[in-house]
Amino acid sequence: MINSKLNSIPVPSPRAGNKKSFLQRLNDSKYLLIMVMPMMIFFILFNYLPMYGISISFQQFSPFKGFADSPWVGLKHFRTFFEYQHAFRLIRNTFLLSFYSLIWGFPAPIIFALILNEVRNERAKKFVQTVTYMPHFISTVVIVSMITMFLSPSTGLLNKLIASLGYSKINFMQSAEWFRTIYISSGIWSGVGWGSIVYLAALSNIDPTLYASAMIDGANKLQRIIHISIPCIAPTIITLFILRTGNLMSVGFEKAFLLQGATTYETSDVIQTFVYRQGIRQGNMSYGTAIGLFNSAINLCFLVTSNFISKRVNETSLW
């Protein structure tokens, strides 16, 4: 009799409890969701919906016919790009500019943050931070203008210094062999301060007792940096490195376009500037989209590969 009464008591299903719990959590986080909503709308409108336009890389797109009526040509534009006589030069220049920027530019904010973290004078520290952040907010056009004036063969300060030492002046802006050096060094100068913000934030979260214990054990500043600071910010470094690797074939179009000239195409002509000439100036939008899709596919491969290797080696990854 007792068992039959117990069996007749309704038991709430786990699914209903989970649903109620989810709705409760949703209600508790409604203000956070409202704050996130503008960002989500932005990405949906400007990042995800435009992805439908990738289809024109497989069409002979005509603005008058639209997406639906433009004829399909399959992989024609991809084959055209690989048969282009300077295709290898474009891929090589894009990869080398990004690779050298990664090799030289990625460690620079880390080293700068580690050095700045050891400065104990707060006023001097804030002054250096402010000065190094400023180039990040300068327009790319202004930065290129500054580079052009600084390296000018007639009035540039560097060429005046070279001439004062008894050497002949160098036309840096018209020399293909100097383009990569100018591009990478100017990128480091403009980004080292801004890029160090994340690392300084990570360094500020390190337990001060670790440094105190190391000082008691007789560790000097360099040893404290090597054995405490760097290991503690290693997850941050790895995460940002993976994200940077995912953009290995993405070179900033604006600066590359503004710095390059007809005499520097051998080292300055990259995929992004070629897409601009083909897609915008010549109106061949399908061809330009196909090249951009190829470039994005390579970036995706680099991102997945670096994330997989990082996950297998030290269990730090994006997903």
Tell me the per-residue pLDDT of 8-21, one tens digit each, with 9 for 90 and over.
555 555 554 445 67
Separation CA 90–CA 181 (nearest Å): 18
pLDDT tens, position by position, 141-186: 999 999 999 998 888 888 888 888 888 888 898 888 999 999 999 9
Tens digit of each residue's pLDDT (9 = 90 or more) over 35-67: 999 999 999 998 888 888 888 899 888 888 888
Average per-residue pLDDT in the chain? 86
Taking the model in full, what pTM does it have? 0.81
User: How far, in Å, CA of 305 to CA of 92, rounded?
Assistant: 20
Residues 117, 125 contacting (CB under 8 angstroms): no
pLDDT at 17: 47
Q: Assess contact for 205 and 228: CB atoms under 8 A.
A: no
> How confident is the model over 24-40, as a mean pLDDT?
87
**Res. 116: pLDDT tops 50:** yes
Quick: pLDDT tens for 244-265. 888 888 887 889 999 988 889 8
For 63, the token pair is: 């603005």
Q: In this predicted model, what pLDDT tens digit does every residue of 205-245 receive, in sequence order?
A: 998 899 889 898 888 888 999 999 999 999 899 888 888 88
CATH of domain 58-137+189-314: 1.10.3720.10
113 CB burial (10 A radius; 0-12, 13-18, 19+): buried
Percent of the chain residues topping a pLDDT of 70: 94
For residues 93 and 180, give the distance between their C-alpha atoms in angstroms, rounded to a whole number.
9
Q: Which of 143, 162, 166, 142 is nearest to 153 (CA)?
A: 162
Angle between helices 122-133 and 176-204 (to 10 degrees): 140
Can you give the pLDDT at residue 184?
93
What's the mean pLDDT in 299-316? 82
